Structures are given as C-alpha cells and as structure tokens.
C-alpha cells in the first residue's frame, strides 16, 4: 500500500500540475479497455441470499419507461435554468469574500457568469451521462463475474436501469441543453481501472460503492436546487434506482469482505482511496475553464474561498456523504490500523461516517413506500 498521498500514477494526490495534465481525446468515439475477468457460471440455483432476492423483486416492480413516463414536451430555457440554479454573480462572490480584483474575472459581468453557468450545466450532465455508461458496462460485467445466482439476477435488472439512465441523460443533453463535453480524464481513468481489475468484488467497490455513491449524492443536490420540472422528475426516477444499486453493493460486499484477510482488504482500501481522489479531481471541471480561455489554476486560486486547501469546499465534500458511511459499514475505514480513515481525514470527508448507510436508508424508503402503496 502507498503512503498517505501516493497514487498509482503520481506520488502526491494533491499535485495540481499532475491533476491538470490529465487529458482525454475529445475526438475519440470508441474507447477499448482490456477486461481481464473470468466469466463465472454457477450451477447452484438456490435463492439463499434473501436481502438480494428482495432487491431483485423490488427492481422488477420498479421499472419505468423513459419515453412514456417523463414529460419530454416540457420547454427548457437553459439561460433561465442557469440563472435560477444558484448562478454565481459578482455580488454573490463579493458577499462571500472573494476578491476578483486583478484577476481575469475582474471585468466579468452577469453575461459572462451566465455563460459559465450554462457550460457548467452542459459539463455536469455530460459527466452524469458518461458515468452512467460506465455503470452500464460494469453491471454487465457483474452479471458475468459474480458467483451467486441471486446477485446475477439483480445485476441483470441493473443493466436495464443503467441503459435507461444513459438514454435519459443523452436525450436531455441533445434536446434540452446546447452542448456535450467529453468524459473528464479522471472519471475516465477510474472507469478504466474498474473494468481492468479481474476481481469481481472490485467492480462492486469501484462502481456500486464509489461511483454510484457519489452519483446518488450529486443527483440529490442537483434535484434539490434545480427549478426545472423535467430535470427534477428525471433525477427523482434515477435516484430511486441508484439507491437500490448502492444498497446492492453494500449487501453483497458486506458478506464477502467478512471472509477476506487484512492483506486482501488492504488492496480494497487502496482502491477506494484512489477512486475517491479521482472523483475529487474531476470536480475541478477544468474543461469548462479551458473553453473560456481561463487558466484553471487561476480560477481555483481566485474562486476557491478556502484558498489552496481544495479539500475544504463543503459543497464538493458533501458529494462523499453517501460513500463514507457505506465504506464504514464494510469495515474498510479502520482495518489495517485505520489506513483508509487517515487518508479520508486528509481529504476532509470522515465527518460523514455516522450518516446513514445506503442499505439502511433504502430499507427505510422501502418501508415508507410499502405503507403508502400497501402490500404487493
């Protein structure tokens, strides 16, 4: 295992030059990744894992039709959407103590900040889209590689869910917004890492716990602030699926990790740390600033009210609120002398440890829905 800040591709997780040097090819259409996993058949068809069977039954009842169940005829004014979704203005930044004098932003008015807000929307929804395709590919891999029939059944329903998520985000970007962005390089590297790993549980850890966990928190934040009715309903549908997906990951890994040695768990801790750093790095959204001809370092220096400590942005850290409780439930924070806890302390996200983990949260939501809809 590496030291407190070392990653597989750089010695210091906080090396801004290394973070900003990562690139993807904006013209790439087909991206191939070597998948080293064995396809696993099981001839044991006994449905012995009841929590997973329950999720499977719930998934079958919870399917929705992206074409028929969303109001696609809704008119979306992207400028109005940007202006009413917490768009930054010089007045807001002054109130927050951000000094724009002497910077590239000093002459910017509401027009420029509105353009940034629009591009941020395009970038954010584009990354949602790319992440959902990653989930589609990874869940198909889970069907192949997981050795339990209950998990194969459930993962098959998630493949359908993820295809639907790719469909709705692609359609929203194409029909309601005005631009796509390529996949962020840090998200791309993480998806590649997940696919390349031959161990089936690493697909769960990387996608179900880390990527889907952050996505669930991001969707919840977006749904809370957007006034746009189509996007709000779209996110609500997607979030209902995502909560079930993350709960699936927690339930499956909780059983499996109880059988692993400390050395094997150390590999999972390292993987979770690298995934967390890559997801943090993508939030810089350097592609947006580059589109405006703004040096990303300058944007971070001027606009981050926390100075050089980029780990203290409360909005960005809140995105880890679904990840840390789940890793705690899996026992990954404190095994091996608390190796992962120390790294998450440095990232500034350990504060979320006591928040409700997704498997319990999903059971609570399921109970509320059962009370509302009755048996069946």
Residues 6+ apart with CB under 8 A from 155: 139, 142, 143, 146, 248
pLDDT of residue 367: 52
pLDDT of residue 74: 97
| Residue 65: burial class (beta carbons within 10 Å; 0-12, 13-18, 19+) | exposed
Residues 6+ apart with CB under 8 A from 225: 85, 86
Distance CA 114, CA 132 (A): 27
From its phi and psi, is residue 313 left (phi > 0), alpha (psi between -120 and 50) or beta?
Answer: beta
Q: Which domains does the chain have, with CATH numbers?
A: 80-373 (1.10.620)
* pLDDT tens per residue across span 1-12: 544 455 666 777
* pLDDT tens per residue across span 23-74: 888 889 999 999 989 999 999 999 999 999 999 999 999 999 999 999 999 9
For CA atoms 271, 245, 262, 339, the dihedral sign is positive
pLDDT of residue 30: 93
Which residue matches tokens 């499956």?
252
Any long-range contacts for 123-128 (C-beta under 8 Å, 24+ apart)?
123/181, 123/285, 123/287, 123/288, 124/222, 125/169, 125/172, 125/173, 125/177, 126/173, 126/180, 126/181, 126/182, 126/183, 127/181, 127/183, 127/184, 127/187, 127/282, 128/169, 128/215, 128/218, 128/219
Instruction: Please choose, from the candidates 279, 257, 262, the residue with its C-alpha nearest in 3D space to the C-alpha of residue 200.
Output: 257
pLDDT tops 90 at residue 319? no
Q: What is the pTM assigned to this prediction?
A: 0.90
In percent, the amount of the chain with pLDDT more than 70 equals 90
Distance CA 203, CA 195 (A): 7
DSSP characters for 152-163?
Answer: HHHHHHHHHHHH
pLDDT of residue 364: 60
pLDDT of residue 95: 85
CA-to-CA separations, 236 to 69, 241, 257, in angstroms, rounded: 12, 9, 31
Instruction: Count Cβ neighbours within 10 Å for each residue of 92-121 and write b for 16 or more, e otherwise.
Output: ebeeeebeeeebebeebeeeebbebbbbbb
For CA atoms 312, 350, 275, 357, the dihedral sign is negative
Q: Which two tokens stand for residue 123?
A: 């970038």
DSSP characters for 45-84?
Answer: -----HHHHHHHHHHHHT---TTTSS-TT----HHHHHHT
* Residue spans of alpha helices (H) in 146-261: 149-175, 185-196, 200-203, 212-225, 229-257
Write out the H or E segment, with its range, that includes residue 307: none
Lowest mean pLDDT segment, chosen from 84-98, 127-141, 255-269, 290-304: 84-98
Distance CA 221, CA 203 (A): 25
């Amino acid at each position: 295992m590496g030291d407190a800040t070392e990653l597989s591709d750089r010695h210091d997780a906080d090396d801004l030059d290394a973070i900003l040097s990562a690139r993807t090819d904006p013209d790439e259409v087909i991206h191939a990744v070597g998948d080293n996993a064995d396809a696993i058949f099981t001839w044991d068809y006994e449905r012995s894992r009841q929590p997973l069977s329950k999720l499977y039954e719930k998934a079958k009842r919870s399917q929705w039709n992206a074409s028929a169940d969303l109001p696609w005829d809704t008119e979306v004014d992207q400028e109005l959407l940007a202006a009413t979704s917490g768009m930054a203005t010089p007045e807001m930044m002054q109130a927050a103590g951000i000094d724009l004098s002497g910077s590239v932003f000093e002459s910017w008015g509401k027009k420029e900040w509105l353009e940034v807000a629009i591009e941020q929307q395009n970038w954010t929804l584009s990354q949602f889209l790319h992440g959902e395709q990653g989930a589609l590919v990874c869940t198909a891999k889970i069907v192949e590689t997981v050795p339990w029939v209950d998990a194969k059944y459930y993962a098959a329903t998630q493949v359908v869910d993820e295809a639907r998520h790719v469909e709705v985000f692609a359609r929203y970007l194409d029909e309601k917004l005005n631009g796509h962005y390529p996949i962020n390089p840090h998200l791309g590297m993480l998806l590649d890492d997940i696919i390349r790993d031959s161990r089936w549980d690493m697909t769960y850890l990387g996608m179900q716990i880390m990527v889907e966990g952050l996505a669930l928190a991001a969707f919840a934040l977006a749904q809370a602030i957007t006034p746009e009715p189509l996007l709000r309903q779209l996110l609500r549908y997607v979030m209902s699926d995502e909560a079930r997906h993350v709960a699936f990951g927690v339930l499956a890994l909780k059983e499996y990790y109880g059988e692993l040695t400390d050395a094997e768990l150390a590999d999972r801790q390292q993987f979770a740390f690298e995934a967390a750093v890559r997801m943090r790095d993508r939030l810089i959204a350097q592609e947006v600033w580059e589109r405006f001809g703004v040096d990303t370092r300058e944007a971070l220096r001027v606009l981050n009210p926390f100075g050089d400590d980029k780990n203290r942005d409360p909005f960005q850290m809140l995105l880890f609120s679904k990840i840390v409780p789940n890793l705690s439930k899996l026992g990954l924070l404190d095994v091996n002398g608390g190796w992962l806890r120390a790294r998450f302390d440095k990232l500034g996200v350990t504060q979320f440890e006591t928040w409700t983990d997704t498997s319990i949260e999903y059971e609570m939501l399921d109970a509320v829905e059962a009370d509302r809809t009755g048996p069946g």
